[in-house]
Structure 1
Amino acid sequence: MKANKLLFILIVFVACFLSSANRQFPGDCNAGNICEQECNDVGDNFYECQCFDNYELIENGIDCKVSTPINRVEPTTESISDDEYDFGVLDPYQFSSKPSNSLSKRSHKFSSSDFLTKKMRDSKRKYNRRKNRKGRKKKSKKKKGKKGKKKSSRRRKTLKEKPIADQDSKLIPTEDISKIYKKCIEIECSLHGECIEDEMVNGVKCACKFGYWGRRCEEKIDISYPRFFGSGYLTFSKLYLRNSYKDFTFEIEFKPETNNGLLLYSAEFPDGKYDFFSVALIGGYVEYRFDCGSGTVKIRSNEEVRINEWNTLVVSKYYRTGSLYLNGGNATFGESARLAQIVFKQDLYLGGFKNLSAVGSRTGMKFGFIGCVRKLKLNHRVFQVRSPPQFGDVLNGVDIGSCTSHLCKSINCEQGGKCKVISSDRAICLCPYGRVGDRCEIKKTSTVPEFTGYSYLQFFGLGKDIYRETDIEVVFKPSKRNGLILYNGYSSSGGDFISLALLKGYLEFRFDLGTGPAVIRSRSPVEMDQWHRVKLHRRLKLGSMELDNDLRTIGYSKGDYSMLTLQLDLFIGGHRDFYEVSPLAGVDVSFVGCIQKVVINGKPLKLTEKLLYGINIHECEHICNERPCRNGGICVPNMNNYQCSCLLGFGNAHCEDIRTRRDIGGKEDAISFRGNSWLSLNDDRVHSLLTDSVSEIEFSFKTNFSDGLIFWVGQNLSFQPDFLAIGVRGGHVEFSFNLGHGDAIITDKTFKVSDEKWHKVRAIRQDKRGLLEVDGGKTIEKTVPNEYVRLNVDGSGMEDITEKTKGKYTIGLNGCLKFLKISDDDTLDMLGKAKDGRNIKKCEKDDIHHYT
């Protein structure tokens, strides 16, 4: 009697131990199940999985692992019949080869040869026992009664345990599922959810729309890499399949957590009748099926999928022939009997289907996929899976989680940095401009910005500045063959745009005026890790590109529109969100490398100063980083070289020399300018004379440059157009002014002044009338129709000629200047009246150089 009691207690203990991993699944064992080894019907149209001797059920309730060491023996050569073959597979028609061959493949997952021997010898007895199970269940149905229900209820409580083995719990949304709702009136779903029956718990739940999660679908989540839980799916428009009726190629990268589940499905009719195709995991193998109307073709992988690892699957159909490649292994093939075309009238489903039981007999699988997907590609199109769906290709979705929600929980970004998932298994900190490091912990600014592939600089958009005409110059050094260098668009949903990008090593300039882009491509690939200079030009529909002084390439935009309308911000080196970039730009990755200079319509973009926002900007390797300029001088990079811009009173190559007034010269001495030189005169009398209704300017100069600004007075305010300028353009002297309503431009074509000889200039403005005289020659006159007669200007400096002159001039005088007079006053002491200046020295006899 004691022995009997002891035996009873031991049996109860073992039963309780095994139940810790038991989960119940809808259906019955004979109709198909997902168990790896044994299946046991528990009543109420539910079943649970069990394991063979020396194996135990793991926490997902489906798979088994070895529980105790067992002795290995050589496998028997005894054969078994088809009826005896039973490893708990879902459907007998899942095998495309003979059972004996399939057995040899599946045996690799079991680590015990003596177990296989025992299994084969006893398989007949177990098969007969299972065959009679259904009859016994019917007879005992009334006797079970409440007991069966109680047992099922107790086992359903185990659902609140960790459902998937060896998985980080952070991957699974932390939902409290201890309470089971029986009726929809008991649970109030949010606007983003719908109450449906849930067979897994014999109750109801809120089915969440794509992009939402939670008990009541109240939580909004970002999804780039979807996770499927067996009950959900994503759909893509059937329009993507419209040209795939004869041939197609699908590529999918997925990480399964179980051996079974529907991956892909589409058909002619919702129930899969007639034409269809599907890809499913069945018993750990991939099975690809399609029907062109002449019978189902079943193609099964040679190898099993790798559970909890990334797998790459390629399935194709070319007319009647289908093929399957798994993880780069050998291909398996199948062929349709007669017909070759599939009619697709239903949307493409990923990870499941809205009515799995209706298509289970066609696909061989009645359960949805459990795991993650990071890539889905049809022919040449990679589907963009993202929430909210309007930014991607997803048409609809139900019960989809994020496979990367845990990544940012382990990263602590500092100083305003934000965590961003950049791949299916990696996240980084996006650091604001001025911060670098893994956590943005390092303070760092840059002279020449470097872009890492997850970087960008954001500026105010170009707007109407390039409405009719566009000139852009960019100096860059690429490190990778693909990446967006410059982009400005009209709206996040498309429309006009202008872009410069590297695509497979070639430089592409694109612009779209509303009816299709012009695509202008470099003649050859650009060399990596070398500095390049590209000049872009667009006038109306015509565009051109000149790379490194090579021959220009040209292109035209399509359609009738000729104006470029841009409303969004300008991005350099990448973009904050490539879903806001037009697909017609042809690029979806950021630039990797350095960008030294960007000039738009003659105006340099101050890359490290006047930006709205910057992310992950590092310092490019350049000699300017070593701060070679002394005494407050500014290092100006010029591709691989540099030039020091010296403060007034300092000079030489690195501003190391101190220059006194005597060193530079007196008011009768000529002053040398070298293109990036300037003097700012701060004198009330000079300002008064220049802004009077009548003003006169006289000076002498010499240069060997055909362009350069000599004299400028204007406003700092961008909306104030008043200015007065004298310069050299095309080798001739040009006098221009604006009193508030249109430019007056007077050019003397008589004398060519870029001849290294001294020339005398006299310019007069009398109210609205201008006069220009060069070397005592003929006076050229012009009057502007304007109600204003006075010039409203200030006396500010000239740090940036292009910006200051609003693109009218891009370089200063290369040469010498002397004898400056304002309105009949004596010769002006330029150094004595100077408020500030750069790169000023005394003009020597041979001080005419080709400065750059």
Structure 2
Amino acid sequence: MEFLVSHKAYEAQNRYKALGFDGYSHMLFPSPENAYLETNITIEFKFDKNTDGVLLFAGSTKDSDFIAISIKNDSILLRFDCGEGTVEDLYRGPLEKNVWHSLHVFRKFCAQSEIQIDNRNAMTDDITELVHYKGITVDQGIFVGGATTEIVSLEEKAGTTSGFVGCIRKIVVNDVALLDSQEGINLSLDEATYCNLDEPKVYLGKKLVKKTDNTTDKKSGVNTFQSKNVGFSGNSYVQLLAPDDIDRYMELRISIKLKEPNGIIYFDRTWNRILAIYLENSFVFVLFSIGNDQTLLRSEFQLPLNVWKKLEVWRSGRAILLKVANQMWIEGRIFATDIQESATKTTYFGGAPMDVLPEQLKTMKGFFGCMRKICQNARMLHLHRDALVSVNTHDCGWNPCFEMSCEQSSRCINQHTSAVCLCKYPLRGKRCEYKNDVKFTTKAMRFSGISYLRFASREVMEHIMGETLNLRFTLRLQKLEYKSSQSSEQILVYAASNDNDGDYMKLRLLKDKKLELLVDLGSGVTVVSHPIILNEESWHDVVILREASQISLIVDELEVSTTATGDSTELNVYDSLFIGGALSGDKLYNGFKGCLRNIVIDSASVTHPEHASEAINLSEC
């Protein structure tokens, strides 16, 4: 006997299946009414091969308003525009095949966004330069798995015109479930398209128009996508051809997001003229010189970290102007009379080679953060695409931990664009793949700059928070291969609730190999600087003493004392004490490089990593 299955019976049979997409299909869902100003999107998807494709698109068919989420080069690309410029964020993969992924994307106005996939770290973006328009107009609805060919400039908006290849089982927008295969919810405006994960896919829904024979495809396997948001790591730079008219005038507009407060943003020079834009302690400086005459501009306020800010610099003849975000224009002028014609051949962004920098900038690192929307002399620049030379740059939002697999469930931290596995003792190795089987015999612990001891027990923290403290240890610096100064400061002792927000104590080894103690009991920072320069050949005894507000730093029996600011006598830090380095949230501080022994916290002696609550990346000296 042969049975005929009605359409309703077919729908009931498939209502708990995910939707399937073959790269040429898409589904249309209604847009929640409150999605104009804010979109909070969750998509659960799965694929069995790596291809670029649109996951979600909503916006205007012909105008600039849109939000698009795509898979691009095994990463998540988010782009949106409220009418005054496209915001782009790239959340680096790779994405594992044949595994269900949960993607969360949040957009508020065009001023804030957040991307998170699975249980990885979220990537947030605060945009302060786009303030005039806040909403995104949605004409037809929310396209999923692809988008209609009626959308103007789809590739420019979404990064690809291809549809998604794989399965989608859940779509939630602003708490409205548009699709939930587990709950049997499907609000699609199109005929359903189902995906059977164990059998060949059944495609019933709307198809995109396939390319005709005379359409040229880009070669498969060739990575042609380059983000317009460029990331710099302090040792990066991009060299470009200078505009033809740069010697007559220079007008530069650029948006930057700082990760660190110091570094070179822009540099160009001729044989007798220099223009440099750089950061120092989060202030923006512009150095302009002609011959022996120079002027230096400084922004009125410091720039915050991890927030997009717009810079504008204008030069014409002897005049130079600077504008930072909403601050007033600042003007400077050169009074040199021996101006001679000379040609600027190249410009540098994010840093520059040491041999082209003037003496006053040779010790400065490059920019650490992201750049986008760069316009120079009425020409929009694409740093990746236009570069003559690109050194150590990457897509903004790239996280090296995506490409690192730390073993034994160890945590990975992005340390200056390098993946660092936090190996809990007795684990060791780059990926925590080895285990220390030999017991400590010397009672001296080696710290590598990415190591630390963390103490969180009540007994230890009572000493830190109380009115008295006697913390002592003996240290020996790591021998440098070349006789030069350290590249950065190193944390030796750290205790804080939040990074410099409220009470804290920090002992750091400066670049000149002197120790500096910073203590804030709630009324301001007190600094104790010690004059002794530590050498690499000897062990040095270090003691931190605190009796109420009286603070002392002792190095090799030489004591330097002072009184803390204010009336408070206690250090209100409740979380942890770090020795040899520190971790705050996702930030791993530059730790001590060398050996520590004879660690004593008041009367408690620390002679083994197991005496700490947590011992990370430690070995025996």
Tell me the TM-score normalized by structure 2.
0.44
- Higher-helix-fraction structure: 1
- Higher-strand-fraction structure: 2
Tell me the TM-score normalized by structure 1.
0.33
Larger Rg, first or second structure (1 or 2): 1
